[in-house]
Amino acid sequence: MSQIQNFTLSEAGYVLGRTPAMLNKAVDTGVIHARQKKVGNMVQRLLGPAELRFLRLADELNKDLTPAGRRRLYGALRKLPDNAHKLQLGRLELDLAQIDIDLNDRMAKLEAVRCRVESTGARGEAVVRGTAVSAHLIAALARDEGIDVVLADFPSITRDQAEAAVEYAKAYPKRGRPYPTKSLKSTLTDLADAGAFDDDGDPGEVAPRAIP
């Protein structure tokens, strides 16, 4: 499994293809357990490899598992070493090899994306590594305008960097006010195309007026 042993709900959601809200519900309802870590004034929920393995297995065995079976499976996975790829559950043996390969692929992609972005500035703004361009801004613009338009607006970044920014924003959503989905350049172009800057005629000289 990956060197990352504790995943935030947004990181785990990226690996599993689930939303953080779905994972929060799974914790709240006792389907899985989460470790807790205090970050400032907030408590962050963290999931480990056992939780990721269980949720992937539960997706595949959903119709075949009773609530008691789910609890038993989860308990066995929590005791299983990360480097063990077979799970013995009574007379049943589960081969986890393909699930672990799939999870490792997604974890490797997450780590690769993290390497393409760095935090800078007093607020720890996430920027495309080697640039001053916000990763979340690139992701917001790409959702509405597409990668090609973003690359035209930001010639200093490559396609790989833009795509990494989009993936980074999925695993690490921006907190607070979202970025606009149109760049200033695109907005001005749209306004120009709509005739917002057209000259309606020569207004002539404007005579000075006395200030009362």
pLDDT in tens, 18-73: 999 999 999 999 999 999 999 888 899 999 999 999 999 888 887 777 888 889 99
Count Cβ atoms within 10 A of the Cβ of residue 73 and give its class: 0-12 exposed, 13-18 middle, 19 or more buried. buried
Separation between Cα atoms, residue 87 and residue 91, nearest integer Å:
10
Q: Give residue 64's pLDDT.
A: 75
Residue pair 104/2 in contact (Cβ under 8 Å)? The answer is: yes
Judging by beta carbons within 10 Å of its beta carbon (0-12, 13-18, 19+), is residue 113 exposed, middle or buried?
buried
Query: How high is the pLDDT of residue 178?
Result: 61
Q: Can you give the pLDDT of all 212 residues of the chain as single tens digits?
A: 555 679 999 999 999 999 999 999 999 999 999 999 998 888 999 999 999 999 998 888 877 778 888 899 999 999 999 889 999 888 888 999 999 999 999 999 999 999 999 987 556 789 999 999 999 999 999 988 899 999 999 999 999 999 999 999 999 998 876 666 655 555 545 545 555 555 655 555 655 556 55
Question: What is the separation of C-alpha 94 from the centre of its chain, rounded to a whole number of angstroms?
Answer: 30
Nearest alpha carbon to residue 55 among 95, 80, 27: 27
Quick one: DSSP state of residue 62? G
Amino acid found at 92 = L
Q: CB of 24 within 8 A of CB of 45?
A: yes
